[in-house]
Copies of this chain bind each other. A is one copy, B any other.
Amino acid sequence: MDKAHYHGGRPRSEQARAAILNAADDLLVEVGYAAMTMKGISEKAGVSRQTVYRWWSHKAEILFEASAADAEEELATSLTGDPLDDLAAYLEALVRFLAHSPAGAAYRALLGEAQHDSAVAELLSAKDPLGDSARVVIERALGKDTLPVPLDQATALLIGPSFFWILSGRDPVQLVPRQLAEDFIRDLQSRQSR
């Protein structure tokens, strides 16, 4: 017996699962989040509506699962050794993600929903791609123990300005990641020296 906990019955179709996630991804780009419906997803995936509802309860849940991997990948960074370079590279990736990537659009849509749908809010707080990636970068660039601020608050200082800039609809071209990275480092240092 291969499966650990077999309880009888036809096994879940991996094909259907993939088709649904792909359909959700595609629909987000093609028609936007608002016009994306459970019905539309099921039809685009060539799958019954019931099958969609069997495994997910909201379009947000589907979209989250569909874009989580992409988000993680796009926000992952390679280290250069130089803290400033690393942080600047990360902020650049962050801006690219939020402003231009499909996965970023998915994230913004989900975060938007989360503002008035607690189910979605829980989804995001359970696995937060921005917070997670930022924590990793800061730890590796500056060292975990030398931080004068709780790690979580440091992420807010790093991410906050770019996040606000893009979410509030401002032009991402005007953002200068290197400058923001410098500010961040200087800020932490001056806090430390007090």
- A interface residues with partner B (beta carbon < 8 Å): 32-34, 105, 108-109, 111-117, 121, 124-125, 128, 130-131, 152-153, 156-157, 159-165, 167-170, 174, 183, 186-187, 190-191
Contacts and interface: CB of A to CB of B under 8 A. Distances in A.
Contacts of A112: 111-116
Contact of A159 (B121, B124, B164, B174): B164
B167 A161 contact: no
A129 to B, nearest CB: 11
A169 B131 CA distance: 11
Contacts of A187: 183, 186-187
Given A152-B170, A156-B162, A187-B187, 18 more contacts: A32-B117, A33-B116, A109-B116, A111-B112, A112-B112, A114-B169, A124-B168, A125-B168, A130-B168, A131-B168, A156-B161, A156-B164, A156-B165, A160-B164, A163-B163, A163-B164, A167-B167, A190-B190
- Best-buried of A33, A131, A160 by chain B (most CB within 10 Å): A160
Nearest to A190: B186
Contacts of A160: 159-165
Nearest to A118: B32
A111 B168 contact: yes
A34 B165 CA distance: 25
